[in-house]
Amino acid sequence: MTVDTHLIDLLRHGDCVGGPCFRGVRDDPLSRDGWQQMEQATAGLAGLTQVISSPSRRCAEFAQSLASRLGLSLVLMDHLRERDFGDWEGLSAAEIPAAEFARFLADPTGFNLPNAEPFGAFRARVLATWQALCASPSPHRLLITHGGVIRVLVAEVLRMDDTALPCLEVPPACLTRIRLHPPPGRPSLVYHRPSTVDELMNSDPDQP
């Protein structure tokens, strides 16, 4: 890493108590396996200067532990929460009517989930926080957040169309690294990877 560039690592939370489901505002804690997944994902990180986290338990409890262990400051950012999935909260993909789920996958930005946070509002709040972080860089931040948030940020960096978001898999404890370059450079994707090969093979891509 050169002196003029900065890193932001995005870490999705691990598996949660209650198993895979549409989990937005539902505040389940990490399972024992989920905690171990995040320990493994962060074991090789070096040179962190700050930890930032969604306030949801599945992110914040591990973030607090990690920041305390490393002697780093922890900032909880409400705008890094997962999308509120409305009536789909707590449901697995198999429990959602097949026609509705197919429409969601075909048009994730235009299909209105019943009583959910509109995708446009979700995307706007995530990107507002991202732009603020880019405007005040730190050498190496770790953001502990959610699959939907990470999809939006990776799509922004790679200039992907929002309709491609379901094609981007973000398994539990997936670690994504983005490099921030000085103007006029744009952020670049360094890597996007699961904590282990087993996590990639066994993850359920239909769950947020």
What band does 186 get if pLDDT is binned at 50, 70 and 90?
A: very high
What's the rounded mean pLDDT across residues 180-191?
A: 93
Single out the residue of 66, 19, 54, 47 nearest to residue 141, CA to CA.
Answer: 47
In the predicted model, is pLDDT for residue 200 greater than 80? Answer: no
Find out whether 57 and 27 touch, Cβ atoms under 8 Å.
yes
Q: Is residue 208 part of a domain?
A: no
Q: pLDDT at position 174, please?
A: 97
- Name the residue range of residue 91's domain: 6-202
Q: Is residue 50 part of a domain?
A: yes
121, two tokens: 């509002």
Q: pLDDT at position 3, please?
A: 52
28, two tokens: 């389940």
Q: Is residue 1 part of a domain?
A: no
pLDDT tens per residue across span 36-58: 999 999 998 999 999 999 999 99
Q: Is residue 207 part of a domain?
A: no
Q: Is residue 117 part of a domain?
A: yes
**What is the number of residues in the chain?**
208
CATH number where 117 lies: 3.40.50.1240
Q: Is residue 18 part of a domain?
A: yes
The pLDDT > 70 percentage for the chain reads 92
Residue that the structure tokens 């697995």 belong to: 92
Q: How many domains does one find in the chain?
A: 1
Residue 82, CB-side half-sphere exposure with 13 Å CA sphere: 26
What band does 206 get if pLDDT is binned at 50, 70 and 90?
A: very low
Residue 7, CB-side half-sphere exposure with 13 Å CA sphere: 20
Q: Is residue 10 part of a domain?
A: yes
Q: Is residue 130 part of a domain?
A: yes
What band does 1 get if pLDDT is binned at 50, 70 and 90?
A: very low
Find out whether 208 and 20 touch, Cβ atoms under 8 Å.
no
pLDDT tens per residue across span 107-119: 888 898 999 999 9
